[in-house]
Structure 1
């Protein structure tokens, strides 16, 4: 009887667990006198979750909500964060990992970068700082990582391109309609901005069901029904000589279809849990691909984003065959500090990737594989 009662209580606790934003790492104890609307010292930011705490305290509720919100009951938003904890690492010891930092550099579509991470497309950076996407582009240049500016940005494509450093590589994200004239004009602007690829978001054929955002009038930037098919992709590809990456792949079948349709690269993503509640995390999709058709990772470059907050999160995705990992909300939150905040967020994640790889016993990041993770879920829920 006692065991049954304990089991029932545990089940109830799991069902009603408190909603997570960032974990408790003592930041509120360290900043007891921080007034609402004030920005803490950048030096007090020691991990990506800290930037959300800072942004929530500093920004007007409307601005913060736009970045923070998810679809419907926000299960997918929460799952993006929690899923990494359901798979345990398998650390190796007695391994020389002293050169791990030198193995972080990678290529994305043939372009060289300092680490296997990138800034994912996220709209309206001006909600966090008046310099908006300019901070993100400059920080990406300073840290030599890829940035994919969003179409619905606080600055124009041209304004963002103006601040690129010499030789800096950026990709441009887009939403598209069936208006071929408008699409051609957009593609010409992207080409003129010297973007090296187009990132076509396909996981938002309809508006996202965002209750939290609706309360503040900050719903989806793209609210129309969209025609997104492989026939449309072929038409789009014929309109530009830039490679068109598909962002928003959530099944192994669609990854296979991307290969069949000569897509150069895909991004596993559920739009940060902002479009369809119940959609899988990128880690779950990467695992599905690894288990059902692992050759996909050899046939096409696979990137992923969603819920990544720690170096170990990046390692789990890389171990399955993902080539580069995108960061969205933490970068937008870090932008409340301006360019220095964005740079620090990138630096913190790079450092975590290196030290976590070292503690995992990975001597060369490019040689990490699925054996470093126990891929049996432990059914952990916060």
Structure 2
């Protein structure tokens, strides 16, 4: 029987010779041409998730911006994560009544039995203080205000206890963790997580060693630690005996999932969309038997709709919310609302009448050619 608590955080990569636009050209430069470099753009003038990064890049110290922006090595995986969604299309359906689509949004998503207002969550990201003096406060408060899941990173600037203090009554959060063979330290961490009220532990199994982050190294925003961490299935089984809190696996990608007694992850350099496609091709029942989450490259409502069509339960978003947090709670709240609106508009234009019932048949399985 498969574990019902496996999640996929899927990152990926591919190289292309054409120029790469970190943010799309939607008129930002012209509209904000007179904005001073150190000034924040007015929130009500930001119209999509990419706007938050472009505005934050203009005013954050370069090292702070780099900490959020950097990717591994030559950053081909980072680039592919953003571009891959445009290589796959949705087949729109016409003449369908979508007027009740908005009614399917409230409490539309269930993650490990907990209800949320939208099929996306704030993924674990470290050092909220690099974007805002209040650090992760804005992420906690906006998640509560908009009823979405927030998963704090163990490397957050605020401690588990400080983050807990900002939570509202009844707010559901999970807690990301890096775990090693120091069982005493692990038990202490599990006790803190349980005391915080977090409903799940998100165990990063894709961090056996630190990443090769050259952009970050250039600006002093990366770790120089070259130690290695023991992460095996035997270790995972032992961890489950140390706590009664569900442990969700966070992996860079998982293509091969065991059909017998447990879920197994095979790490690759693929995007979440590509891995979700491959899972559908090899064993689509996986999406029915376990909860699958994906994190990487999502910037638009259409991206979310495509992942849902493939069977992903919910989509994690990290960098855009870290950049939105430069504006604090109001910034993250606006980013969440903008994405909710986009999901509704894009789903409606694709002929989706109910967010819970997206049919895989709307997904075009053959990728478009990539322009040179």
Q: TM-score range by the shorter chain?
A: over 0.9
Pick from 168, 189, 203 the counterpart of residue 192 of structure 2. 189
Q: Which residue is equivalent to 1:52?
A: 53
Residue equivalent to 1:288: 278
Structure 1 equivalent of residue 151 of structure 2: 148
Residue aligning to 2:80: 79
Equivalent residue of 1:112, what SS?
A: strand
- 1:214 equivalent to 2:217? Answer yes
Q: Does 1:200 align with 2:190?
A: no
Contact 2:210 2:226 in 1 (8 A): yes
SS of residue matched to 1:185? helix
Aligned residue among 246, 249, 262 for 1:246: 249
Which one has the bigger helix percentage?
1
Q: Which moved more, 1:332-341 or 1:18-27?
A: 18-27
Deviations 1:257-310 (A, max 9, x none): 7x73379xx9x9x8xxxxxxx711111111111110001001100010100000
CA RMSD between the two structures:
1.8
Structure 1 length as normaliser, TM-score? Answer: 0.90
Q: Does 1:27 align with 2:17?
A: no
User: C-alpha offsets along residues 213-232 of structure 1, whole Å, 9 cap, x if unaligned?
Assistant: 00111114975311111101
Deviation at 1:119, TM superposition (A): 0.3
> 3-state DSSP class of the match of 1:80?
helix
Would you say the 8 A contact 2:70–2:213 is kept in 1? yes
**Displacement of 1:43 after TM fit?**
1.1
The question of 1:159 aligning with 2:162 is answered yes
Distance in 1 separating the partners of 2:254 and 2:109? 25
Deviation of residue 370 (structure 1)?
Answer: 1.7
Q: Which residue of 2 aligns with 1:363?
A: 353
Classify the secondary structure of the residue corresponding to 2:251. Answer: strand
C-alpha distance in structure 1 between counterparts of 2:112 and 2:226, whole Å? 31
Partner of 2:95: 94
Aligned to 1:274: none
Q: Alpha carbons of 1:15 and 1:314: their partners in 2 closer, same or farther (altered >3 Å)?
A: closer
Match of 1:342?
332
Unaligned runs of 5+ in 2: 1-14
Counterpart pick for 1:226 among 229, 234, 255: 229
> TM-score, normalised on structure 2?
0.92
**Aligned partners of 1:190, 1:91: CA distance in 2, in Å?**
44
Alignment counterpart, residue 117 of structure 1, candidates 98, 101, 120? 120
Measured against aligned partners, the alpha-carbon deviations of 1:330-376 in whole angstroms (never above 9, x if no partner) come to 00000111110000000000010011000000001111122112110
Secondary structure at the aligned position of 2:367 is classed as coil
| Higher mean C-alpha displacement, 109-118 vs 99-108 | 99-108
Change (3 A) 1:166 1:32: same
The secondary structure found in structure 1 opposite 2:38 is: coil
Deviations 1:157-195 (A, max 9, x none): 000011111100000000111100001100100000000
Spell out structure 1 runs of 4+ moving beyond 4 A: 220-223
